[in-house]
C-alpha cells in the first residue's frame, strides 16, 4: 500500500519556476492496474519517478506500508528501487552493449545474487515475456516491442511489488502495443502496476483505475482508495534486502562495456601507457648500465687489488689538498686592496711530507694471518698476495757467445762505478749517454713475478685472462718463465740486447754512433717463437755472488769473470715455456717486463738465500757487517777511527789506488795547484798510489780518519745487507695485495683496515690509496644523478599521462550518462556507480600497464642493437627487471584509478532522473 500525501515538486531552471506536482494526494492499493492519463507536461513522469524513489519530493510524504519515507537515506531508496519497484520506460532504456540476458540479469547483479541464480531467474523472466529464444541478442538486434518486453522482463526479474511503466507503448505501433498491454495486465494480477499513458483507449481497455492529471493536479480518479484508519494494518517495515554489487560484477560489467569499444579502449590504454613506457625504458637502460657497472666493479675488484706498499705516498690526501696546482686556482677570499699572505706553499709542503708513509706490513700480516680477523670474510677468490723483494741475477750468452747480464749492466761501460758498491763505498752516479736515456738505465729489470692465483696456481686468472698464449704455455715450475710481447708481437730493441737475443757488440756500436752524433737506423728483425724459447738463461741468486775471504769477511765476485763462469756452469737454467700477448680488450695486461717468472721461483730463492753461507753468517753476527767486518753502528769516535783504518787496510791494491786518487783530488783546494816537483797523481801507477795510502796509514791522524769514515764509509745496515744477499723474511712482505669480489666487500675491507688502525699504535697504522674507490665512486655518483634526472623527466610524463587518463575517463562517463540513469533506476547505489567506473579505469590502467611493458620489451630489441652498434660491443644490455615491470603495472593501475576517481565520483552524483532524460 502506497500513500502519496500532498506531495509537491518544483523545478527551478534559472528564473523559471515550474511546478510539476502541486500537493498531489493519492492512495494506491497493493494490487491494481492504475493508468495515469494526462497531457504532456502535466507531471505524470514526475509523479511516477517520485513513487519509484527515483526522484525526491519537495514537500508532503510518501508512505510505504504505513512508514513515512521522510527519513529515508540514499541507501534505503536504492534498496527500495532494487527490490520493491520495477521500471519500464517509453524508450526501453536497455544497455546497448550488453546482451538481452545480461540486461535482465543486471537488476539481480546489483542485488548481489549468485551468477547461477541470476541466469536462471533472468531466463525465466525472459521466457515469461516470450523471449526465451533471444537471450543472447543485443538490444539493437530486436524490434521495439521485443525491446519493451525485455525491459518488462528486467523490471520483473526481481519480483517487485510495484511495476511503474512510463508510456510503455509510446514508441510502439498499435499491434505490438496490445501485446505489451496484455503482458502488463497479466503482470498486474498479483502486484501494483502504475502506467503512465496519454492513450485513453488503452487505459480504458486494460486498467481498472484511471487517474487523470493536469498541471500537477489530480483532476479525476475513477476508483479512489479511501483509507479508513480502523481497517489499516499496522505499519510494517519490510526488509527489502541490500542493493550491493561485488567488485567482480562491476569488473565484468566494465569489461563488457570496454569490449564493445575496443578501438577507443586500446587508444586510451595506449595513451596511458606512454608514461609507463617512458619509465620502463629509463628503468631498463639504467638497469643495463648498472649491471654493466657491477660487472666492471667485479672485473675491477678481481683484477685490481687493494694494494698496500711497505712504503707509499698517500695520493688521496695530496689530491684532497688540491694538488700542486691548487694554490693558483684557489678562489680568492679577499679583496685586491691590501697586501695579503698566501700560506698554501707551506701547507702543501706539510701535506706532502705527511702523505709519505711507511707501513708496518709485518704487523699487518700478523693481523691478516689471524683466522679470527673480521677482514677474512671479505677476501675474494683471488685471496691475499704477499710480494717479497728477492734479488737474483739472470745471465745469458748473446749470439756471439758474449756473456750478458740481463739487467743491462754488461751493455754499459760504467763498470767501475759499480765495483765498490758492494764494499760499502758510496756509489757514484752512473755516467754515459745510455744511462741518461729512459729505459736504458743500467739497472733495468726485465724479470717480473707474475701475480699468483689461489690454491697454489702460479699465474692468477687476473693475469691469464688478459693474455693470449700464442706459443707454448704458462710457466708451471720455479725454473720456468714466459716471454711477454706487446699487442703487436713486439719487444723493444734495447730489451732484446739486454736479453742477449741481439749481440751486445752491435749495441755498443750503436751507442758509439749516438755519442758521435751520427744518425742510426735500427732494422726490424724477427724470430720464430721456438727460437726464442730455446734460449738459455742462467739464474744466479745474489747470495751466490759472495765468497768468503781468508779473514772471515765476504766479498762480491760479480766482477770476477772466472768465478762468474764457474757459477754459470752450475746455475739454474730458466726455460721459456711460452709466449703471451695482451688480449684485444685486456683489462689487466699488467706485466710490464719482457719476462715473467712465478712465485715458485720467489719461494725457491727465499729458501735458497736463507740456506746460504753469507746469509747465515750475517744472521749470526747481526751487529757486524760481514762484508767489511765493521760494526753497523759504532758507538764512539774511537771505534769509527779504528773501523776506518781497518777498512782502508783491507782494501785491495786497485781499490786503495782508486780511493787515494779520489781522496787527494777532493782534498786539494783547487785542481792544478799541486806542489811543484811532486809527481802528478794522474801519472802514478796503481801500485804507487796504493803504496802512498799504506804509507799514510802507518801514522794516520784521527781527525782525518774520522772525516774519511763519515764521508766515505757507510757501514750500511743489517737489513740492507740481508736484502743485498737476497734474503727475505716471510714476515715482512714488500707489498700486500688484497683481492675482493665486489665493490661492497672492498668497502668492508677498507672499514676493517680502519678498525685495525684504530686498535694499533700510530706507527703501525696502515696507509694506502684507494684508487678504485676514488675512481668508481665518482662514476656511480654521476650515473645516479643521471638516473635521477631521467626519472624526474619520466615522472612528469607520468603525471601528464594520468591527467590524460583522467580526461578520457571523464569523457567516457559523459557518454554513459544514460547507463548511469538506468543503473540507478534498477537500484544501483551511488557507490555501485563509482564502482563500475573505477572498475573501468582499473581495467584501462591494467591494460596500459601491460601494454607499456610489452611495448617496452619490443622497443628494447632495436634499442639494444643501437646501443651495441654505438658502443661497438655488447657490454651494456638494457633490460627491464621483472620486479620493475610488475611495479610499473601496479603504478599504472594506481595512477589511472586516481585519474578516474574524480570523474567516477561525479558520475555517481548524477541525478538519475536527469541522467535518464539525456539521450
Ligand atoms: P509529463 O511526463 O506529464 O509530460 P513531466 O513530469 O515530465 O510531464 O514534467 C512536468 C513539468 O515539469 C513539465 O512542465 C516539465 O517542463 C517540468 N520538468 C520536468 N523535469 C524537469 C527538469 N528536470 N527541470 C525543469 N523542469 C522540468
Ligand atoms: Mg512524461
Tell me, what's the pLDDT at 440? 38
* Burial per residue of 370-395, b for 16 or more beta-carbon CB atoms within 10 angstroms, e otherwise: eeeeebeebbbebbbbbbbebbbbbb
Q: Between 242 and 578, name the one with better pLDDT.
A: 578
49 lines ligand 1 (CB under 6 A): no
Tell me, what's the pLDDT at 883? 92
Tell me, what's the pLDDT at 438? 37
- Measured in Å, residue 664 CA sits from the centre of ligand 1 at 136
- Helix H, strand E, coil C: the string for 197-242 is ECCHHHHHHHCCEEEEEECCEEEEECCCCCCCCCCCCCCCCCCCCC
- From atom 5 of ligand 1, which residue's Cα is the shortest distance away? 43
Distance separating alpha carbons of residues 410 and 393, to the nearest angstrom:
12
All CATH 3.40.50.300 domain ranges in the chain, comma separated: 2-242
Scanning 308-388, the segments in alpha helix (DSSP H) are 315-320, 326-329, 344-355, 361-369
345 lines ligand 1 (CB under 6 A): no
Tell me, what's the pLDDT at 422? 37
Instruction: Tell me the mean pLDDT in the region 240-257.
Output: 72
Tell me, what's the pLDDT at 195? 93
Instruction: Tell me the mean pLDDT in the region 731-752.
Output: 84
**Per-residue pLDDT tens for 254-266?**
887 788 778 888 8
**Nearest alpha carbon to residue 660 among 688, 629, 627:** 688
Instruction: Tell me the mean pLDDT in the region 832-841.
Output: 82
* CA trace torsion 89, 92, 93, 99 (10° rounding): 140
DSSP states along 64-125: ETTEE-TT--HHHHHHHHHHTEEEE-TT----TTS-HHHHHHHHHHHTT--HHHHHHHHHHH
**Per-residue pLDDT tens for 18-69?**
999 999 999 999 999 999 999 988 999 999 999 999 899 999 999 988 888 9
**Per-residue pLDDT tens for 139-177?**
989 998 899 999 999 998 988 899 999 999 888 888 888
Tell me, what's the pLDDT at 444? 57
Least trusted range by pLDDT, from 757-771, 775-789, 814-828, 833-847? 775-789
Atom of ligand 1 nearest to the CA of 47: 6
Cell 492496474: give the residue: 33
168 touches 33 (CB < 8 A):
no
Distance separating alpha carbons of residues 904 and 851, to the nearest angstrom:
23
The ligand with the least distance to the CA atom of 51 is 1
Q: Is the pLDDT of residue 899 over 80?
A: no
**Considering the chain, what is the average pLDDT of its residues?**
81
**Per-residue pLDDT tens for 651-694?**
777 778 878 877 777 665 544 444 555 556 677 788 888 888 88
Distance separating alpha carbons of residues 665 and 866, to the nearest angstrom:
76
DSSP state of 523: P
- Measured in Å, residue 11 CA sits from the centre of ligand 1 at 8
- Measured in Å, residue 187 CA sits from the centre of ligand 1 at 28
- From atom 15 of ligand 1, which residue's Cα is the shortest distance away? 41
570 lines ligand 1 (CB under 6 A): no
**Per-residue pLDDT tens for 49-58?**
999 998 999 9
- From atom 17 of ligand 1, which residue's Cα is the shortest distance away? 20
State the distance between the two ends of the chain, measured CA to CA, in whole angstroms.
34
DSSP state of 13: E
Least trusted range by pLDDT, from 355-359, 393-397, 701-705? 355-359
Q: Is 423 left (phi over 0), alpha (psi -120 to 50) or beta?
A: alpha
Confidence of residue 439 (pLDDT cuts 50, 70, 90): very low
Q: Is the dihedral of CA 395, 398, 404, 408 positive or negative?
A: negative
Please classify residue 174 by burial: count the beta carbons closer than 10 Å to its beta carbon, then call 0-12 exposed, 13-18 middle and 19+ buried: exposed
Q: Is the pLDDT of residue 325 over 70?
A: no
Instruction: Tell me the mean pLDDT in the region 369-390.
Output: 83
- Measured in Å, residue 207 CA sits from the centre of ligand 2 at 18
Tell me, what's the pLDDT at 330? 55
- Measured in Å, residue 48 CA sits from the centre of ligand 1 at 12
313 touches 357 (CB < 8 A):
yes
Alpha-carbon distances of 752 from 374, 376, 465, 748, rounded to whole Å: 7, 10, 29, 6
The ligand with the least distance to the CA atom of 40 is 1
Atom of ligand 1 nearest to the CA of 21: 10
Instruction: Tell me the mean pLDDT in the region 91-116.
Output: 85
Atom of ligand 1 nearest to the CA of 38: 3
DSSP state of 874: S
Distance separating alpha carbons of residues 749 and 367, to the nearest angstrom:
13
**Per-residue pLDDT tens for 593-633?**
889 999 899 889 888 888 888 888 888 888 888 887 777 87
Global pTM exceeds 0.75: no
Instruction: Tell me the mean pLDDT in the region 356-362.
Output: 81
**Nearest alpha carbon to residue 706 among 653, 749, 642, 764:** 642
Tell me, what's the pLDDT at 673? 46
260 lines ligand 1 (CB under 6 A): no
Atom of ligand 1 nearest to the CA of 44: 3
- Measured in Å, residue 17 CA sits from the centre of ligand 1 at 11
- Measured in Å, residue 197 CA sits from the centre of ligand 2 at 8
Task: Indicate the fold that domain 2-242 takes in CATH.
Answer: Rossmann fold (3.40.50)
**Nearest alpha carbon to residue 447 among 319, 540, 524:** 540
912 lines ligand 1 (CB under 6 A): no
Q: Is the pLDDT of residue 884 over 60?
A: yes
- Measured in Å, residue 167 CA sits from the centre of ligand 2 at 7
18 lines ligand 1 (CB under 6 A): yes
Tell me, what's the pLDDT at 21? 93
Looking at the chain, the whole-number percentage of residues with pLDDT higher than 90 is: 18
Q: Is the pLDDT of residue 304 over 90?
A: no
Sequence-distant (≥ 6) Cβ neighbours of residue 787 within 8 angstroms: 282, 286
- Measured in Å, residue 789 CA sits from the centre of ligand 1 at 59
Q: Is the pLDDT of residue 772 over 80?
A: no
The ligand with the least distance to the CA atom of 89 is 2
44 lines ligand 1 (CB under 6 A): yes
Amino acid at each position: 500500500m502506497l500513500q502519496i500525501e500532498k506531495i509537491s515538486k518544483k523545478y527551478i531552471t534559472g528564473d523559471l519556476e515550474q511546478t510539476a506536482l502541486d500537493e498531489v494526494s493519492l492512495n494506491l492499493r497493493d494490487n491494481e492496474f492504475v493508468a495515469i492519463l494526462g497531457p504532456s507536461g502535466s507531471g505524470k513522469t514526475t509523479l511516477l519517478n517520485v513513487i519509484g524513489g527515483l526522484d525526491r519530493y519537495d514537500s508532503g510524504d510518501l508512505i510505504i506500508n504505513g512508514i513515512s519515507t521522510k527519513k529515508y537515506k540514499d541507501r534505503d531508496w536504492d534498496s527500495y528501487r532494487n527490490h520493491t519497484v520495477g521500471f519500464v520506460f517509453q524508450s526501453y532504456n536497455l544497455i546497448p552493449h550488453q546482451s538481452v540476458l545480461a540486461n535482465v540479469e543486471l537488476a539481480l547483479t546489483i542485488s548481489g545474487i549468485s551468477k547461477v541464480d541470476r541466469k536462471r531467474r533472468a531466463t525465466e523472466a525472459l521466457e515469461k515475456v516470450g523471449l526465451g529464444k533471444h537471450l543472447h541478442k543485443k538490444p539493437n538486434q530486436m524490434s521495439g516491442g521485443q525491446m519493451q518486453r525485455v525491459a518488462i522482463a528486467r523490471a520483473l526479474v526481481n519480483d517487485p511489488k510495484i511495476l511503474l511503466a512510463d508510456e510503455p507503448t509510446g514508441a510502439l505501433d498499435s499491434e505490438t502495443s496490445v501485446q505489451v498491454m496484455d503482458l502488463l495486465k497479466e503482470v498486474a494480477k498479483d502486484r501494483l502496476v502504475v502506467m503512465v499513458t496519454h492513450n485513453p483507449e488503452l487505459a480504458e481497455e486494460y486498467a481498472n483505475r484511471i487517474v487523470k492529471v493536469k498541471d500537477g493536479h489530480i483532476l479525476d480518479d475513477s476508483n479512489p482508495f479511501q483509507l479508513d484508519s480502523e481497517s489499516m494494518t499496522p505499519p510494517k517495515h519490510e526488509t527489502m534486502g541490500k542493493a550491493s554489487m561485488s567488485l567482480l560484477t562491476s569488473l565484468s560489467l566494465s569489461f563488457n562495456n570496454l569490449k564493445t569499444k575496443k578501438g577507443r579502449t586500446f587508444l586510451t590504454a595506449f595513451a596511458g601507457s606512454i608514461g609507463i613506457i617512458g619509465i620502463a625504458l629509463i628503468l631498463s637502460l639504467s638497469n643495463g648500465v648498472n649491471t654493466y657497472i657491477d660487472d666492471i666493479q667485479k672485473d675491477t675488484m678481481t683484477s685490481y687489488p687493494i694494494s698496500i706498499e711497505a712504503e707509499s705516498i698517500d695520493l688521496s690526501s695530496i689530491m684532497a689538498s688540491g694538488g700542486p696546482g691548487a694554490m693558483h686556482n684557489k678562489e680568492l677570499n679577499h679583496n685586491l686592496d691590501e697586501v695579503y699572505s698566501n700560506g698554501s706553499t707551506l701547507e702543501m709542503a706539510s701535506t706532502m711530507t705527511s702523505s709519505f708513509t711507511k707501513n708496518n706490513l709485518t704487523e699487518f700480516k700478523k693481523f691478516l694471518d689471524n683466522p679470527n680477523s673480521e677482514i677474512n670474510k671479505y677476501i675474494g677468490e683471488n685471496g691475499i698476495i704477499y710480494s717479497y723483494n728477492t734479488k737474483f741475477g739472470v745471465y745469458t750468452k748473446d749470439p756471439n757467445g758474449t756473456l750478458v747480464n740481463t739487467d743491462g749492466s754488461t751493455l754499459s761501460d760504467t763498470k767501475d762505478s759499480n765495483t765498490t758498491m758492494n764494499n760499502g763505498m758510496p756509489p757514484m752516479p752512473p755516467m754515459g749517454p745510455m744511462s741518461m736515456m729512459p729505459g736504458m738505465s743500467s739497472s733495468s729489470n726485465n724479470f717480473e713475478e707474475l701475480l699468483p692465483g689461489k690454491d697454489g696456481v702460479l699465474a692468477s686468472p687476473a693475469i691469464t685472462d688478459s693474455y693470449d698464449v700464442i706459443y707454448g704455455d704458462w710457466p708451471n715450475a720455479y725454473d720456468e718463465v714466459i716471454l711477454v710481447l706487446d699487442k703487436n708481437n713486439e719487444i723493444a730493441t734495447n730489451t732484446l740486447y739486454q736479453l742477449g737475443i741481439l749481440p751486445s757488440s752491435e749495441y755498443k756500436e750503436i751507442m758509439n754512433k749516438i755519442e758521435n752524433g751520427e744518425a742510426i737506423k735500427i732494422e726490424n728483425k724477427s724470430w720464430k717463437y721456438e727460437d726464442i724459447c730455446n734460449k738459455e738463461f742462467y739464474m744466479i741468486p745474489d747470495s751466490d755472488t759472495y765468497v768468503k775471504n781468508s779473514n772471515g769477511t765476504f766479498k762480491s765476485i760479480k766482477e770476477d769473470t772466472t768465478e762468474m763462469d764457474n757459477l754459470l756452469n752450475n746455475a739454474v737454467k730458466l726455460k721459456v715455456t711460452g709466449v703471451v700477448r695482451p688480449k684485444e680488450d685486456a683489462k689487466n695486461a699488467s706485466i710490464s717486463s719482457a719476462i715473467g717468472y712465478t712465485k715458485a721461483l720467489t719461494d725457491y730463492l727465499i729458501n735458497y738465500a736463507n740456506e746460504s753461507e753469507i746469509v747465515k753468517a750475517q744472521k749470526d753476527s747481526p751487529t757486524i757487517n760481514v762484508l767489511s767486518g765493521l760494526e753497523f753502528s759504532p758507538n764512539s769516535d774511537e771505534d769509527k777511527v779504528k773501523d776506518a783504518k781497518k777498512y782502508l787496510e783491507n782494501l785491495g791494491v786497485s781499490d786503495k789506488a782508486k780511493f787515494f786518487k779520489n781522496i787527494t783530488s777532493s782534498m786539494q783546494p783547487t785542481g792544478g795547484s799541486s806542489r811543484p816537483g811532486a809527481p802528478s797523481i794522474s801519472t802514478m801507477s796503481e801500485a804507487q798510489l796504493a803504496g802512498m795510502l799504506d804509507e799514510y796509514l802507518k801514522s794516520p791522524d784521527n781527525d782525518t780518519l774520522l772525516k774519511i769514515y763519515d764521508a766515505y764509509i757507510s757501514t750500511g745496515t743489517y737489513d740492507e745487507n740481508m736484502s743485498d744477499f737476497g734474503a727475505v723474511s716471510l714476515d715482512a712482505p714488500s707489498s700486500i695485495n688484497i683481492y675482493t669480489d665486489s665493490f661492497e666487500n672492498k668497502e668492508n675491507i677498507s672499514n676493517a683496515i680502519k678498525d685495525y688502525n684504530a686498535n694499533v699504535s700510530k706507527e703501525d697504522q696502515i696507509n694506502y690509496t684507494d684508487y678504485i674507490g676514488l675512481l668508481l665512486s665518482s662514476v656511480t655518483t654521476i650515473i645516479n644523478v643521471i638516473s635521477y634526472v631521467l626519472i624526474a623527466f619520466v615522472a612528469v610524463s607520468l603525471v601528464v599521462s594520468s591527467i590524460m587518463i583522467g580526461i578520457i575517463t571523464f569523457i567516457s562517463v559523459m557518454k554513459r550518462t544514460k547507463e548511469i540513469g538506468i543503473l540507478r533506476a534498477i537500484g544501483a547505489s551511488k557507490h555501485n556507480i563509482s564502482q563500475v567506473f573505477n572498475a573501468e579505469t582499473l581495467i584501462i590502467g591494467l591494460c596500459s600497464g601491460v601494454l607499456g611493458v610489452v611495448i617496452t620489451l619490443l622497443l628494447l630489441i632495436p634499442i639494444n642493437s643501437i646501443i651495441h652498434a654505438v658502443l661497438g660491443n655488447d657490454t651494456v644490455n638494457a633490460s627491464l627487471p621483472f620486479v620493475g615491470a610488475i611495479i610499473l603495472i601496479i603504478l599504472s593501475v594506481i595512477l589511472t584509478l586516481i585519474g578516474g576517481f574524480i570523474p567516477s565520483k561525479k558520475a555517481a552524483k548524477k541525478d538519475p532522473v536527469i541522467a535518464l532524460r539525456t539521450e
